[in-house]
């Protein structure tokens, strides 16, 4: 596989999903071994589940934090991090891009490493294997600052992502099934804005008309395409 010539491109966006972290050992959501195959969304990933049983939902997210902390970013994450002008728009909540050194990461679906209080508005970083506290100083339960099913995306985060993607001239989608909206609309936005669109995925999603589809794993393909950039 030849190295991709980046010299013609000025605004590069990497758009990533769960497949980006798969080779690090973080399970994807769908398909074989996917998280939603073992855990039901209704019980673990929606506001109603949290309202019904906050301890159970916090326990699930704590377990996910531990399993992510047992994983390390791979060479693909590092290749992206070595391109400081490229922007990363991710659906992932695992913080792997940041751990690899990416500075500017737009997290569409929030983060496993933040908690918020919907009673008083407190929002805090919490990076450990276990949560420092499960309740806010105001007495309410702290909630993972994650976009669950049925939640609206943060409009500010959405507009930052739309601005980055609408203005990019090279869009590289990696490891997403393209099934969850509104994120699933971003490949089409890139295409309509005239960007060159590339997909990297062992099972390509065909989410838009890509100029190039590389059937392969992120950790193998990214170093080959962009490793010498």
Main-chain phi, psi angles of 106, to 5 degrees: -95, 115
Select the residue interacting with ligand OAD from 94, 175, 207, 225 (CB under 6 A). Answer: 175
Least CB distance to ligand OAD at residue 138 (A): 26
Q: Choose the contact partner of 218 out of ligand OAD, Zn ion, none; CB within 5 to 8 A by kind.
A: ligand OAD
Helix (H/G/I), strand (E/B), else coil: 115: strand
Using CA atoms, how far apart are residues 65 and 69, in angstroms rounded to an integer? 6
State the Cα–Cα distance between residues 151 and 147, nearest whole angstrom: 6
Bridge partners of 223, per DSSP, are none
Locate 192 and state its tokens. Answer: 């309509």
C-beta of 139: minimal distance to ligand OAD in Å? 27
Residues that bind Zn ion (CB under 5 A): 117, 119-120, 122, 136, 138, 140
Task: Kindly give, in sequence order, each residue whose CB lies less than 8 Å from that of residue 134, ignoring residues fewer than 6 positions away.
Answer: 54, 55, 58, 141, 142
Among 179, 192, 206, 228, indicate the residue that binds ligand OAD (CB under 6 A): 179
Contact letters (x/-) for ligand OAD, 193-212, by CB under 6 A?
-------xxxx-x-------
Under rule CB under 6 A, which residues in 59-118 are in contact with ligand OAD? 91, 109
Of 47 and 140, the one with the shorter C-beta distance to ligand OAD is 47
Give the Cα separation of 151 and 24 in Å (integer).
28
Binding range to ligand OAD, per CB under 6 A, among 94-102, 126-134, 172-180, 190-198: 172-180
Structure tokens at 148: 């669950």
Distance CA 51, CA 41 (A): 14
42 binds, options ligand OAD, Zn ion, none, Cβ within 5 to 8 A by partner type:
none
Residue closer to ligand OAD (CB basis): 104 or 220: 220
Pairing of strands 143-146, 110-116: antiparallel
Active site residue 109: yes
Residue nearest to ligand OAD (CB): 19
Which span sits near ligand OAD by CB under 6 A: 5-13, 18-26, 50-58, 118-126? 18-26
**In whole angstroms, how close is the CB of 205 to ligand OAD at the nearest point?**
5
DSSP assignment letter at 120: T
Q: How far apart are CA 20 and CA 92, in angstroms?
A: 9
**Which residues does the annotation mark as catalytic?**
109
């Amino acid at each position: 596989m030849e190295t991709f010539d980046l010299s013609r491109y000025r605004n590069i966006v990497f758009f990533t999903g769960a497949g980006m972290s798969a080779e690090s050992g973080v399970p994807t959501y769908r398909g074989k071994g996917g998280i939603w195959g073992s855990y039901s969304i209704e019980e673990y990933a929606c506001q109603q589940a949290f309202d019904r049983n906050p301890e159970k939902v916090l326990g699930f997210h704590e377990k996910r934090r531990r399993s992510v902390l047992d994983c390390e970013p791979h060479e693909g994450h590092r290749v992206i991090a070595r391109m400081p002008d490229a922007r990363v728009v991710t659906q992932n909540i695992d913080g792997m891009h940041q751990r690899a050194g990416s500075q500017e990461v737009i997290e569409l679906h929030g983060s496993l490493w933040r908690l918020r209080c919907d009673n008083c508005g407190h929002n805090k970083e919490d990076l450990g294997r276990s949560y420092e506290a499960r309740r806010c100083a105001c007495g309410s339960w702290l909630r993972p600052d994650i976009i669950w099913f049925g939640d609206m995306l943060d409009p500010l985060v959405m507009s930052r992502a739309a601005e980055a993607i609408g203005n990019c001239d090279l869009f590289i989608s990696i490891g997403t099934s393209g099934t969850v909206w509104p994120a699933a609309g971003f490949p089409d936005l890139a295409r309509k804005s005239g960007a060159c669109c590339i997909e990297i995925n062992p099972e390509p999603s065909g989410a838009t008309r890509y100029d190039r589809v590389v059937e392969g794993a992120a950790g193998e393909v990214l170093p080959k395409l962009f490793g010498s950039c």
